[in-house]
Amino acid sequence: MNILLVVACALIDADGRVLIAQRRQSDDFGGMWEFPGGKVEPGETPEVAVIREMAEELGVQISQPCLAPLTFASFSYENFHLLMPLFVCRKWQGMPEPRDHGALKWVKPSALRNYSMPPADEPLIAHLCDLL
């Protein structure tokens, strides 16, 4: 089974809320909420991929010292195995906007389970609740 390496980032605002993004209806898991991120490209480190993905998907700039690895998800889908490090970031430049998603929402960690998420994202919630 092929392993797919993707990254995710939990942007955390001054009120301790986490940014989640809603997948477009036309995407896999359409309409579900997720922690923004994406595939690690050949030659990229996970940190470089997060910085690139946050700029592409949300229009925000992050510097590497502002990223902190929190945990990771390891989940087998039917055709591949997903390995997804989750980074947290409390400092960035720009206002997040939904460039690749249907919507964005700032959510208290305790309310994250109220949002339907892909199976690989769900185990990450407990770690964010513990952190915040």
Ordered by where they begin, the domains of the chain are: 3-131 (3.90.79.10)
pLDDT per position as a tens digit, 12-40: 999 999 999 999 888 878 899 999 999 99
| Long-range Cβ contacts of 52-55 (<8 Å, 24+ apart) | 53/7, 53/9, 54/9, 54/11, 54/89, 54/92
Residue 61 per-residue DSSP state = B
Residues in the chain: 132
| CA atoms of 19 and 26, how far apart (whole Å) | 21
Pick from 94, 113, 103, 5: which is nearest to 50 by CA?
A: 5
Q: What residue type is assigned to position 94 of the chain?
A: G
Is residue 9 within 8 A of residue 35, CB to CB? The reply is: yes
* pLDDT number for residue 118: 93
What value does the mean pLDDT of the chain take?
A: 94
pLDDT tier at 1, thresholds 50, 70, 90: confident
The model carries a pTM of 0.93
Q: Identity (one letter) of the amino acid at 21?
A: A
Q: What is the largest CA-CA distance in the chain?
A: 41
